[in-house]
Amino acid sequence: MRLIEMTRSEAIKAAPESLLIIPLGATEQHGPHLPVGTDTLLVETIAERALLALRDSFPAVLAPTLPVGSSAHHVPFGGTLSLTSPSFYRVLMDIGRSAASVGFRRMFYLNGHGGNHELAQVAARDLGLELPIAVGAGSWWAMAYDALIEAGSPAIRNIPGHAGGFETAAMMAIAGHLVREQRPVREGQPAESPPFRSDYRTEIHDSWQAIDGFTDNPADATAELGARFLSVAVAKVAADLGIFYSKSQAAI
């Protein structure tokens, strides 16, 4: 069920036993070849497909996707809308509080943008401490990382990267008409992007400008590979949401 298609009475009735899935996107530059809504379009697609996969497992409601996130590192390129980190955190807290106030006891922030990653997890933790609810947060590519690596190709190993082979392939699979034909070519080793499987996080000033806003070679992408990535990601996200719901059922 989509929250925006429900009446108030339908939402009130569904809330207590449903998992509210809240997709988090971004509006930011994705190189010269991908639309600025790439993160939003991908996470929305994965959330919709996961919801469909879960339809016979437990009740779930899909919230509207938040299309603006924490993207200050991409502002210099243009085409980017951003919230500061404190503002984005407060937005997530307010959304969670309002959802809880109308009866949702289980919610999961499904993230689609790297800059939102840590902030979404902190908001989930704080909401779960503040309110008698169960809250989770995860980035779809991080949740499915091992499976994505296994499903990939030797040419695309930088997952998620930024506007490189991985994201370009995924976009070719869901909205090929939005991928510009003139894709940049980057040879050699992929540029560094913030690690999501590391014990620490670093940020180096102007590092994104140094690599022209994309991390690895978009020319390696194909729609077929993107479809494979998405299929793997949807299956893993749906499985993790099922585990979260089961655990929350026992606790809440």
If DSSP states are collapsed to H, E and C, what string results for 28-91?
Answer: CCECECECCCHHHHHHHHHHHHHHHHCCCCCCEEECCCECCECCHHHHHHCCCEECCHHHHHHH
pLDDT at 40: 98
pLDDT at 194: 46
C-alpha span between 136 and 165 (Å, rounded): 29
> Residue 246: CB partners within 8 Å, gap ≥ 6?
none
pLDDT at 154: 77
Sign, Cα dihedral of 106, 112, 115, 118? positive
pLDDT at 56: 94
pLDDT at 244: 97
Residue spans of the chain under pLDDT 70: 183-214, 216
pLDDT at 181: 78
> Residue 198: CB partners within 8 Å, gap ≥ 6?
none
Query: Which tokens go with 209?
Result: 């400008």
> Mind listing the pLDDT tens digit for each residue in 28-78?
989 889 999 999 999 999 999 999 999 999 999 999 999 999 998 888 889
pLDDT at 202: 60
Closest to 195 (Cα-Cα) out of 220, 158, 144: 158
Alpha helix stretches (DSSP H) within 102-144: 117-130, 140-143
- CATH number of this structure's domain 3-184+205-251: 3.40.50.10310
C-alpha span between 222 and 226 (Å, rounded): 6
Closest to 42 (Cα-Cα) out of 18, 69, 20, 6: 69
> Mind listing the pLDDT tens digit for each residue in 190-212?
544 544 455 556 666 655 665 65
pLDDT at 161: 86
pLDDT at 251: 74
Phi then psi for residue 34, to 5 deg, are -115, 150
pLDDT at 151: 85
pLDDT at 52: 97
pLDDT at 195: 47
C-alpha span between 134 and 213 (Å, rounded): 36
pTM given for the model: 0.90
Q: Are 126 and 97 in contact (CB under 8 A)?
A: no
